[in-house]
């Protein structure tokens, strides 16, 4: 069956360092991979989308890589700040953003001052 | 509207009662999705509407769950004869057909069945 794995344990990072979150999947061939941020009591907020033929995507302090051979995506936040503390969800999309996507369970990130 | 609106934000109901959850998507978004999230868990897909096509109901956990979308806009998720295991946050999202935009989620309805 299709499976998406994200680090279930919380990640604690010192402010200013780079935070790296991992998303692994099996039995799936997504055309796109998305990353979302979720704060307590709120719905997820879309951050970035990367296509299967893209190796890397950047947006401000965020960088996402997508390795379809390893079936893995890495999500980096450089120069991390306490305001980056949240749960980050990866989501696999088989076709496009206009079809249902499957979410991982998320990794909670804490940035300490 | 400016975002996806869900109501009510919180709902406490007695076991066995029916509940209706409402979602008002972003104007012009053709796709609408319902997910639910249990405490500390990921998002579980429930149902997906795309334009005038038949909805994808493959995620509905039982026949007590149903949803409709009227006029291609507002959607209502109905849970009949609620059970305690139905307690969760129900999230609605909408998206355009443009690749790269992602989903826009509402803040959810927290349902508690007592």
* pLDDT tens digits, A45-87: 999 999 988 989 999 999 999 998 999 999 999 999 999 999 9
Mean pLDDT of the region B78-100? 92
Residue B100: inside a domain, yes or no? no
Q: Is the pLDDT of residue B89 over 90?
A: yes
Interface test with B, best of A2, A92, A100 (most B CBs within 10 A): A100
Residue B98 has pLDDT above 90, yes or no: no
Integer-rounded Cα radius of gyration of chain B: 13
Q: Assess whether pLDDT exceeds 80 at residue A2.
A: no
Two structure tokens written together for A63: 């960088």
What is the structure's pLDDT at B1?
A: 53
| Per-residue pLDDT reduced to its tens digit, B2-61 | 799 999 999 999 999 999 999 999 998 989 999 999 987 889 999 999 888 889 999 999
Tens digit of pLDDT for each residue in B70-79?
Answer: 887 999 999 9
Q: What is the dihedral of CA A12, B102, B3, B35, to 10 degrees?
A: -80
Residue B34 covered by a domain: yes
Residue of A97, A99, A108 to mutate, testing the B interface (most B Cβ within 10 Å of its Cβ)? A97
Residue B109 domain-assigned? no
The domain of B63 spans 5-94
B71 SS3 class: helix
Does B50 sit within 8 Å of A89, measured CB to CB? no
Q: Do A98 and B41 touch (CB under 8 A)?
A: no
| Domains of chain A in sequence order | 15-85 (2.60.40.10)
- Mark yes or no for CB contact A49/B42 under 8 Å: no
- Tell me what pLDDT residue A104 has: 92
Q: Among all residues of chain B, which has the CA nearest to that of A47?
A: B102
Region B84-99: mean pLDDT is 91
Contacts of B49 in chain A (CB under 8 A): none
B110 is a domain residue: no
Strands (E) in A1-113, as ranges, are 3-6, 11-14, 19-26, 32-38, 45-51, 56-59, 62-67, 72-77, 86-93, 102-103, 107-112
pLDDT digit string, tens, across residues B29-38:
989 999 999 9
CA distance B24 to chain A (A): 14
Q: How confident is the model over A8-38, as pLDDT tens digits?
A: 789 999 999 999 999 999 887 788 899 999 9
Residues of A in contact with B103 (CB under 8 A): 34, 36, 44, 46, 97, 101
Bridge partners of A7, per DSSP, are none
**Domain-embedded: residue B114:** no
Nearest CB to A46; choose among B42, B59, B102: B102
pLDDT digits (tens, 9 = 90+) for A85-110: 999 999 998 765 446 788 999 999 99
Whether residue B90 lies inside any domain: the answer is yes
**Number of structural domains chain B divides into:** 1
Sheet containing A62-67, strands listed edge to edge, beginning at the edge strand earlier in sequence: A3-6, A19-26, A72-77, A62-67, A56-59
Chain B segment 18-47 residues within 8 A of A by beta carbon are: 30-31, 33, 35, 41-43, 45
Chain B residues near residue A32 by CB distance under 8 angstroms: 99
CATH number at residue B40: 2.60.40.10
């Amino acid at each position: 069956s299709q499976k998406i794995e994200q680090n279930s344990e919380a990640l604690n990072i010192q402010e200013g360092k780079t935070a790296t979150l991992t998303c692994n999947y099996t039995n799936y061939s997504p055309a796109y991979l998305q990353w979302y941020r979720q704060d307590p009591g709120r719905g997820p907020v879309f951050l970035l989308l990367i296509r299967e033929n893209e190796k890397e995507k950047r947006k401000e302090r965020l960088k996402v890589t997508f390795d379809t051979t390893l079936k893995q995506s890495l999500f980096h936040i450089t120069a991390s700040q306490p305001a980056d503390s949240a749960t980050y969800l990866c989501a696999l999309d088989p076709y496009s953003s206009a079809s249902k996507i499957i979410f991982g369970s998320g990794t909670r990130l804490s940035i300490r001052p | 509207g400016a975002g996806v609106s869900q109501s009510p934000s919180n709902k406490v109901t007695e076991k066995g009662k029916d509940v209706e959850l409402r979602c008002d998507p972003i104007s012009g978004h053709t796709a609408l999705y319902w997910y639910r999230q249990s405490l500390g868990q990921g998002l579980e897909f429930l149902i997906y509407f795309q334009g005038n096509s038949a909805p994808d109901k493959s995620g509905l956990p039982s026949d007590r769950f149903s949803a409709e979308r009227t006029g291609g806009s507002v959607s209502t998720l109905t849970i009949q004869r609620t059970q305690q295991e139905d307690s969760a946050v129900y999230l609605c999202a909408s998206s355009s057909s443009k690749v790269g935009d992602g989903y826009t989620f509402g803040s959810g309805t927290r349902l508690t069945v007592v």
